[in-house]
């Protein structure tokens, strides 16, 4: 502890402290504060730059916010990833971590997964339709014998799923 006596407050200092105490709640309602920490070297560099160019910190915060907000609003995400995109994600995370990191760091991961999702759905529809056509199964069978049609459709769907896994997911 420091035992040196402190100098008494001047009348101006007393008035400022009194004013601060009286208006403390009002100021809290009108303003906010970001209590964050950054590395000292970055902090010093930023402060020196701002002082050199006479830029208040509030301007940096506000302009940074505006820039980020406009970037996010202008960026539209592709459709949400579903089953096939998640299967691909699981595979590349587990078996291709380097590729996963590259996609993630380049900002292309979401696009890649949604592209796989889209291709897989088209491929599945195409394979099922091709199987139905090759085996001369039409919609009339759906009306006359729905159980047989559902069984065949399920088989072709399972076959399509295995093709998608081999050709799109596990590559």
User: Which two structure tokens, joined as six digits, stand for 67?
Assistant: 């820039």
Per-residue exposure over 42-68, b if at least 16 CB sit within 10 Å of its own CB, e if not: eeeeeeeeeeeeeeeeeeeeeeeeeee
> Range of 62's domain?
37-76
User: How high is the mean pLDDT of the chain?
Assistant: 86
pLDDT > 90: what percent of the chain? 36
Q: How far apart are CA 153 and CA 128, in angstroms?
A: 7
Read off the pLDDT of each residue in 120-140 and give the average, rounded to a whole number: 92
- Name the pTM for this structure: 0.54
Helix axes 40-52, 57-74, angle to 10 degrees: 100
Give how many domains the chain has, as a whole number: 2
Neighbours of 115 (CB within 10 A): 16
CA–centroid distance for 89 within its chain:
14
* Average pLDDT of the segment spanning 148-161: 93
Domain shared by 107 and 141, yes or no = yes
Residues 113 and 156 in one domain: yes
Say if residue 42 is in the same domain as residue 96. no
Q: What pLDDT does residue 33 have?
A: 65
The answer to the question of residue 112 being in a domain is yes
Is residue 23 in a domain?
Answer: no
The predicted structure's pLDDT at residue 34: 66
Domain assignment present for residue 15? The answer is: no
Sign of the alpha-carbon torsion through 84, 85, 89, 90: negative
**157 domain residue, yes or no:** yes
Residues 114, 163, single domain; the answer is yes
pLDDT tens digits along 10-60: 888 888 888 888 888 887 777 766 677 778 888 888 889 889 988 888 888
pLDDT for 76: 63
Average pLDDT over every residue of 133-141:
87
- pLDDT, residue 7, reads 79
Does residue 150 lie within any of the structural domains?
A: yes
């Amino acid at each position: 502890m420091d035992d040196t006596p402190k100098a008494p407050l001047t009348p101006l200092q007393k008035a400022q402290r009194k004013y601060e105490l009286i208006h403390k709640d009002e100021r809290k309602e009108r303003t906010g504060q970001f209590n964050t920490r950054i590395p000292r070297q970055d902090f010093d560099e930023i402060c020196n730059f701002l002082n050199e160019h006479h830029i208040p910190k509030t301007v940096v915060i506000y302009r940074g916010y505006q820039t980020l907000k406009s970037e996010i609003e202008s960026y539209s995400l592709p459709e949400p990833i579903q089953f096939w995109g998640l299967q691909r994600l699981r595979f590349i995370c587990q078996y291709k971590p380097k590729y996963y990191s590259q996609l993630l760091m380049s900002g292309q991961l979401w696009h890649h997964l949604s592209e796989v999702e889209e291709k897989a759905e088209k491929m599945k529809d195409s394979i099922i339709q091709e199987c139905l056509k090759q085996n001369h199964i039409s919609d009339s069978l759906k009306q006359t014998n729905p159980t047989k049609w559902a069984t065949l459709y399920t088989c072709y769907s399972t076959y399509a799923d295995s093709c998608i896994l081999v050709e799109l997911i596990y590559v």
